[in-house]
């Protein structure tokens, strides 16, 4: 409806809009003689609107839209956002639909335009597949391909085919060498100490001797000494079996 001035007062239905040109209210107003319409108002009929639609007065006409200022929408992680400008296009991976309620141990995400529950990994450790550059997960963004939630196993490397950690003997070797050498050194010291005690004891009168060993027992100790000395030179050291120590029963506590 086009407005025309009149010499008489008139009651007219006016549609008002705000500074953003969004319709705010409609009411009857008295238009006095020889005066125009109030600012931010029009006689142009308002289109039919549902609860999720608003109208904007653009270029002397009403534009009906769902994307109106003040309407809530949600990003893919269910964060609430509000439209603050017009015109507006809903971003990708966003929705007007209200997200699912929160649930312990899970977070809500928009997948294929549907809200679903996914396991919440915040606070868990992301293990590096390439090195030891692990980190604590602070958001539920997709993990980089270089990391996994599967806990790293001891002395293992990541295997893409099995999607798991696979034991690698060479990773254990340096530590195993130290462990086995410490064991060997400890056992060898005990055996050498017993041999030394026996040899010194032979120089004392019989009634004062404390290291009573037969010759065969003494030979067992010597064999143990030899086995312990040779142990680190075994081809499969440190992953071979430890030598059996037959003379250990002759060692004093």
Structure pTM? Answer: 0.59
Domain ranges, ordered by start, for the chain: 10-65, 72-119, 125-167, 170-250
Q: What is the pLDDT of residue 203?
A: 84
pLDDT of residue 197: 87
> How many C-beta atoms surround the C-beta of residue 139 within 10 A?
9
Look up tokens 């007219």; give the residue: 12
Q: What is the pLDDT of residue 253?
A: 47
Residue 18: predicted pLDDT: 95
The interaxial angle of helices 215-230 and 169-201, nearest 10 deg, is 150
Average pLDDT for consecutive 10-residue bins of the chain (253 residues)? 81 93 94 89 93 94 94 95 95 96 94 96 96 94 95 96 97 97 96 90 81 86 96 97 83 55
Structure confidence at residue 205 (pLDDT): 84
pLDDT given for residue 6 in this prediction = 85
Closest CA to 43 of 9, 14, 17, 64: 14
Q: pLDDT value at position 212?
A: 78
Q: What is the pLDDT of residue 227?
A: 96
């Amino acid at each position: 409806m086009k407005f025309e001035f009149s010499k008489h007062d008139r009651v007219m239905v006016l549609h008002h809009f705000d500074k953003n040109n969004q319709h705010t209210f409609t009411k009857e107003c008295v238009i006095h003689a020889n005066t125009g319409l109030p600012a931010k108002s029009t006689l142009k009929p308002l289109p039919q609107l549902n609860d999720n639609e608003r109208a904007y007065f653009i270029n002397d006409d009403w534009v009906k839209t769902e994307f109106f200022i003040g309407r809530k929408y949600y990003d893919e992680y269910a964060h609430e956002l509000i439209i603050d400008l017009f015109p507006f296009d809903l971003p990708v991976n966003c929705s007007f639909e209200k997200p699912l309620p929160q649930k312990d141990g899970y977070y809500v995400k928009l997948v294929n335009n549907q809200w679903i529950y996914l396991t919440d990994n915040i606070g868990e450790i992301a293990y590096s597949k390439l090195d030891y550059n692990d980190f604590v997960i602070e958001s539920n963004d997709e993990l980089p391909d270089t990391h996994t939630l599967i806990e790293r196993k001891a002395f293992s490397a990541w295997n893409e085919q099995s999607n798991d950690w696979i034991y690698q003997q060479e990773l254990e070797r340096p530590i195993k060498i130290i462990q086995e050498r410490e064991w060997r050194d400890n056992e060898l010291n005990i055996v050498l100490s017993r041999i030394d005690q026996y040899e010194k004891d032979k120089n004392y009168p019989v009634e004062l001797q404390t290291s009573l060993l037969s010759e065969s027992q003494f030979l067992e100790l010597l064999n143990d000494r030899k086995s312990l000395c040779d142990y680190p030179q075994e081809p499969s050291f440190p992953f071979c079996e430890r030598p059996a120590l037959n003379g250990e029963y002759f060692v004093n506590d």
